[in-house]
Structure 1
Amino acid sequence: MTTSAVPTRQVRVLAAPGDRHDEILTPDALDFVGRLAAAFGERRRWLLKERRRQAIRLATGSPLDFPLTTSAVRADPDWRVAPPAPGLTDRRVEITGPPERRAAVDALNSGADVWMADFEDATAPTWENVIGGQLALLDAIERRLDFTADGGREHRLREGRLPTIVVRPRGWHLDEEHLELDGGPVPAALVDFGLYFFHCARRQIDAGYGPYFYLPKLENRYEARLWNDVFLLAQELLDIPRGTVRATVLIETITAAFEMEEILYELREHGSGLNAGRWDYLFSLIKTFGHRSDFLLPDRAKVTMTAPFMRAYTELLVRTCHRRGAHAIGAMAAQVPAEGPAAREAVLATVRLDKEREAEDGFDGSWVAHPGLVEVCREAFDGVLGDRPHQLDRSREDVRVTPGELLAVRRVGGPPTEEGVRTNIAVVLRYYDAWIRGRGTVVLDGLVEDAATAEIARVQIWQWLRHRTVERATVLELLERELDALGAEFPWAAPDEVRELFESTALAAELPLFFTPEAYSRHLVRTVTTAEVPA
Structure 2
Amino acid sequence: MTEQQKRRLQVLQKHLCSGPKLRLRPTRPEHVDSEGQVCMAETAAKLAQGTKFQEQVKERGISAEVQPPPRGLEQAHSTLLTPEAVAFVARLCAEFDRDVDQMLRARVLRKIQMDQSGELPDFPEKTRRIRESEWKVHPVPRRLQNRHVDLGDVSPANTQHFLQALNSKAEGIQTDFDDGHCPTWTTQLKGLYNVYLAVHNKLPGAPSIGNAPVLMLRPRAWNIVEHNMLVNGKEVPGPLFDFGLLMFHNAHLLIDRDSGPFFYLSKLEGASEARLWNKVFIWTQDKLDIRIGTVKACVLIENILASFEMHEILYELRDHSLGLNCGMWDYSASFVNKFGHRPDFVLPDRSKYVSMERHFLKSYMDLVIQTCHRRGAHATGGMSALLLPQGGQAGGKDVVERVCSDKLREIKSGADGFMVYDVGLIRPMHLLYDKFAPGANQLHVQRADVRVQSRDLLQMPTGGVTLNGLKHNIAVGIQFINAWLSGKGHFFFKGCVEDSATAEISRSQVWQWVRHSARLEDSGETITRVMVEELVQQTLRDLPTTPRMDAAAGIFLEIVLKRDFPEFITTYLNLEHAFLRGKLL
**Do they superpose with TM above 0.5?**
yes
Q: Which amino acid aligns with 2:484?
A: W
Query: For residues 148-201 of structure 1, what are the alpha-carbon distances to aligned partners after superposition, in whole Å with 9 as ceiling and x for unaligned?
Result: xxxxxxx54489821011100111111101001111101101001000000000
User: 393, 406, 409: which one pairs with 1:357?
Assistant: 409
Distance in 1, Cα, partners of 2:162 & 2:572: 28
Distance in 2, Cα, partners of 1:159 & 1:69: 44
Shift of 1:300: 1.2
Query: For residues 258-313 of structure 1, what are the alpha-carbon distances to aligned partners after superposition, in whole Å with 9 as ceiling and x for unaligned?
Result: 00000000000001110011110011111111111221112112200010010100
* 2:16 corresponding residue in structure 1: none
User: 287, 300, 308: which one pairs with 1:237?
Assistant: 287
Distance in 1, Cα, partners of 2:297 & 2:494: 33
Give the 3 Å change call, closer, same or farther, for CA 259–133 of structure 1 in structure 2. Answer: same
Distance in 1, Cα, partners of 2:405 & 2:582: 48
User: 71, 94, 112: which one pairs with 2:128?
Assistant: 71
* 1:461 corresponding residue in structure 2: 510
* 1:516 corresponding residue in structure 2: 570
Q: Which amino acid aligns with 1:495?
A: M
* 1:532 corresponding residue in structure 2: none
Q: Which amino acid aligns with 1:467?
A: H
User: 91, 98, 114: which one pairs with 1:58?
Assistant: 114
Distance in 2, Cα, partners of 1:328 & 1:301: 25
1:484 aligns with 2:541: yes
Specify the SS of the correspondent of 2:144.
Answer: coil
* 1:9 corresponding residue in structure 2: 62
User: 357, 361, 381: which one pairs with 1:306?
Assistant: 357
Conserved 8 A contact 1:85-1:209? no
User: 164, 184, 191: which one pairs with 1:126?
Assistant: 184
* 1:494 corresponding residue in structure 2: 548
Q: Which amino acid aligns with 1:52?
A: V
Aligned pair count reads: 512
Specify the SS of the correspondent of 1:413.
Answer: coil
Conserved 8 A contact 2:479-2:549? no
Distance in 2, Cα, partners of 1:278 & 1:512: 20
Specify the SS of the correspondent of 1:254.
Answer: coil
Distance in 2, Cα, partners of 1:65 & 1:504: 33
Q: Which amino acid aligns with 2:202?
A: R
Distance in 1, Cα, partners of 2:297 & 2:64: 26
User: 473, 476, 490: which one pairs with 1:441?
Assistant: 490
1:206 aligns with 2:256: yes
TM-score (norm 1): 0.92
* 1:390 corresponding residue in structure 2: 441
Distance in 2, Cα, partners of 1:225 & 1:374: 34
Query: For residues 186-241 of structure 1, what are the alpha-carbon distances to aligned partners after superposition, in whole Å with 9 as ceiling and x for unaligned?
Result: 11010010000000000101112221110000001110000000000000111111
Distance in 2, Cα, partners of 1:382 & 1:66: 37
Which structure has more relative contact order (CA 8 Å, sep 6+)? It is: 1
Give the 3 Å change call, closer, same or farther, for CA 367–245 of structure 1 in structure 2. Answer: same
Give the 3 Å change call, closer, same or farther, for CA 528–323 of structure 1 in structure 2. Answer: closer
Distance in 2, Cα, partners of 1:4 & 1:131: 25
Shift of 1:500: 2.6
Query: For residues 456-502 of structure 1, what are the alpha-carbon distances to aligned partners after superposition, in whole Å with 9 as ceiling and x for unaligned?
Result: 1001000000110123222111011112333xx13x33233212311
Distance in 1, Cα, partners of 2:554 & 2:448: 50
Distance in 2, Cα, partners of 1:218 & 1:357: 26
Query: For residues 309-336 of structure 1, what are the alpha-carbon distances to aligned partners after superposition, in whole Å with 9 as ceiling and x for unaligned?
Result: 1010000000000000100011100111
Conserved 8 A contact 1:81-1:326? yes
Give the 3 Å change call, closer, same or farther, for CA 46–277 of structure 1 in structure 2. Answer: same
Larger-gyration structure (1/2) = 2
Conserved 8 A contact 1:178-1:527? no
Give the 3 Å change call, closer, same or farther, for CA 9–527 of structure 1 in structure 2. Answer: farther
Unaligned stretches of 5+ in structure 1? Answer: 147-154, 530-535
Query: For residues 130-161 of structure 1, what are the alpha-carbon distances to aligned partners after superposition, in whole Å with 9 as ceiling and x for unaligned?
Result: 11111111111123324xxxxxxxx5448982
Conserved 8 A contact 1:201-1:211? yes
1:277 aligns with 2:331: no
User: 399, 405, 425: which one pairs with 1:347?
Assistant: 399
* 2:522 corresponding residue in structure 1: none
Shift of 1:406: 0.3
Distance in 2, Cα, partners of 1:485 & 1:319: 45
* 1:255 corresponding residue in structure 2: 305
Give the 3 Å change call, closer, same or farther, for CA 433–320 of structure 1 in structure 2. Answer: same
* 1:149 corresponding residue in structure 2: none
User: 338, 346, 355: which one pairs with 2:389?
Assistant: 338
User: 456, 469, 479: which one pairs with 1:430?
Assistant: 479
Aligned-pair identity (%)? 40
User: 147, 156, 173: which one pairs with 1:99?
Assistant: 156
Distance in 1, Cα, partners of 2:206 & 2:93: 36
Distance in 2, Cα, partners of 1:8 & 1:106: 44
Distance in 2, Cα, partners of 1:186 & 1:357: 41
Conserved 8 A contact 1:172-1:188? yes
Shift of 1:8: 6.9
* 2:202 corresponding residue in structure 1: 144
Unaligned stretches of 5+ in structure 2? Answer: 1-54, 519-526
Matches within 5 A, 1:179-190: 179-190=229-240
Query: For residues 64-107 of structure 1, what are the alpha-carbon distances to aligned partners after superposition, in whole Å with 9 as ceiling and x for unaligned?
Result: 10000000000102x11110123211010111111121111111
Q: Which amino acid aligns with 1:55?
A: K
Distance in 2, Cα, partners of 1:397 & 1:334: 31
Distance in 2, Cα, partners of 1:357 & 1:423: 26
Runs of 4+ displaced beyond 6 Å: 3-6
Distance in 1, Cα, partners of 2:360 & 2:179: 24
Give the 3 Å change call, closer, same or farther, for CA 188–439 of structure 1 in structure 2. Answer: same
Conserved 8 A contact 1:15-1:527? no
| 23-32 vs 510-519, greater mean Cα deviation | 510-519
Distance in 1, Cα, partners of 2:557 & 2:530: 13
* 1:111 corresponding residue in structure 2: 169
Q: Which amino acid aligns with 1:180?
A: L
* 2:346 corresponding residue in structure 1: 296
Give the 3 Å change call, closer, same or farther, for CA 496–269 of structure 1 in structure 2. Answer: same
* 1:151 corresponding residue in structure 2: none
User: 15, 22, 25: which one pairs with 2:81?
Assistant: 25
Distance in 1, Cα, partners of 2:61 & 2:412: 51
Specify the SS of the correspondent of 1:511.
Answer: coil
1:420 aligns with 2:469: yes
User: 87, 109, 122: which one pairs with 2:143?
Assistant: 87
